[in-house]
Structure 1
Amino acid sequence: MLARGSAVVARDSWQGRLDQPPAPSLVSSASSPGQSPKQPTAEADWPFDGRDIFHRLMQHAAGRGNDHAYACMIASRCGGQGALPDWLGLESAAFGCLMRWHFPGVELGGAVATGARLAAERMEEVADLVRILLMDKAGDSPSEVWMAHVIAAGCCGDDHLWQDLGLWDRAELTALMQRNFPALASRNVKDMKWKRFLYKQLCESEGIYSCRAPSCGQCVDYHACFSP
């Protein structure tokens, strides 16, 4: 569990990441150290290998709820977009299980592992985000467990969470949250930006209430926390 002091540091770091230019230290990469990850765009703007991988995955999709979301993330990762580390932030064995569960028969080789790793100092923070997510998972599918780990890894990126995950737009992330973690998603009643919402849940779980505004509606940073 994240210590109180660590939670404050995590919160402040996260807030700065959304409001300021990207810092290069969140995900370390053996191939391109110090470079900010590319941002996902519409499928038509992906590198050719990303588009090709997406269509290949969907042709072999098992018909499960997270097929499309995972296909987007994997294609973005293979195309050098988004901010997820190798294997979408999973262990390589877990990623292999994910592939067999969602895309049986597809082998990607090393396309999804290029040396990008989560920074070691973020691992405790990621573990606590996973805990927050799994407390409200929809059922007993392993896909929800993998998704919790992937989302937590995506929170270590520098942009909006849907971009860092390699999704096409924020609506896909909202649908993903509602599908996998419905009780948690239902608490986001004012459509708070998902990365901020998750860190807010983390801080509150540790008994940390740092905002000095009497309510979100009266806060000067309202526009930074909530979507239009």
Structure 2
Amino acid sequence: MAVAAFAIESSQAAFTRVMAARRGDPLEETLARILASWMAGEGVMPEWLGMGEHAFRRMVQHHFPNLDTSEMLGIGSEFDSERGAEMDDLRKLLLASRTTHSQSETWMTDIVIAGCLGSDHLWQDLGLWERSDLTRLMLENFRPLAIRNTQDMKWKKFLYKQLCETEGIYTCRAPSCEVCADYAACFGPEV
């Protein structure tokens, strides 16, 4: 992973700096956590958080107008190009489930898709600080989909289960589960 020189900054310090640049939208706290972790080299988010440089700069300008993006060149890694069809399916699912159909929800769609390509729990791959951050993100941006998670299923597993059900496949699991350190917690008996 290429990391910019300033990435030695802790995620907490980056979070404080990003929050100081925010516009005031409620979703910006969750987005600031993603950005701060990414800037600190944590999580698995790709370059430009998976949305391309132009969209990334527009998103930052919209939500964090006082944040300098020039220092963010080279942060992150490349997408796995073999997973393009999977990304398209996730995009359709998330875009169809946006809460208000805002531009911010479109940006969050690309961010969540990028996180889904990681091999850990989605909240960790996104660089969020706890699972409740992801639940808040899902409810704020994809409420029609999020409220269907009535059993509090892990989010990545839930998203892939939704994809499988749209295809009529009902024994589907999330990708990369076999390498996840919490495999037993996700697939073991409920406690």
Counterpart of 1:25 in structure 2 is none
Identity of aligned residues (%): 42
For the 8 Å contact 1:60–1:104, the answer to whether it is kept is yes
Per the TM alignment, residue 107 of structure 1 is displaced from its structure 2 partner at its CA by: 0.9
For the 8 Å contact 1:90–1:150, the answer to whether it is kept is yes
Counterpart of 2:14 in structure 1 is 53
> What secondary structure sits across from 2:92 in the alignment?
helix
Instruction: State yes or no: 1:99 paired with 2:60.
Output: yes
The amino acid across from 1:114 in the alignment is I
The 1-side partners of 2:58 and 2:80 are apart by: 24
* 68-77 or 202-211, which deviates more: 202-211
TM-score w.r.t. the length of structure 1 is: 0.71
The 2-side partners of 1:69 and 1:115 are apart by: 19
Q: Work out which of the residue numbers 124, 148, 151 in structure 2 matches 1:190.
A: 151
For the 8 Å contact 1:62–1:103, the answer to whether it is kept is yes
* CA shift in 2, pair 1:88/1:112, >3 Å: farther
Per the TM alignment, residue 140 of structure 1 is displaced from its structure 2 partner at its CA by: 2.7
Instruction: State yes or no: 1:124 paired with 2:72.
Output: no
Per the TM alignment, residue 115 of structure 1 is displaced from its structure 2 partner at its CA by: 5.4
* CA shift in 2, pair 1:73/1:207, >3 Å: same
The amino acid across from 1:122 in the alignment is R
> More relative contact order in 1 or in 2 (CA 8 Å, sep 6+)?
1
The amino acid across from 2:163 in the alignment is L
Report how many residues are paired. 177
Q: Gaps (5+ residues) in structure 2? A: 173-182
* 57-66 or 156-165, which deviates more: 57-66
Give RMSD over aligned pairs. Answer: 2.3
TM-score w.r.t. the length of structure 2 is: 0.84
Paired residues for 1:172-191 under 5 Å? 172-191=133-152
> What secondary structure sits across from 1:118 in the alignment?
coil
User: Which digits, 9 at most, give the CA deviation of each residue in 1:54-77, with x for residues without a partner?
Assistant: 212111211112211111111111
The amino acid across from 1:148 in the alignment is T
Give the number of the structure whose alpha-carbon radius of gyration is greater.
Answer: 1
> What secondary structure sits across from 2:60 in the alignment?
helix
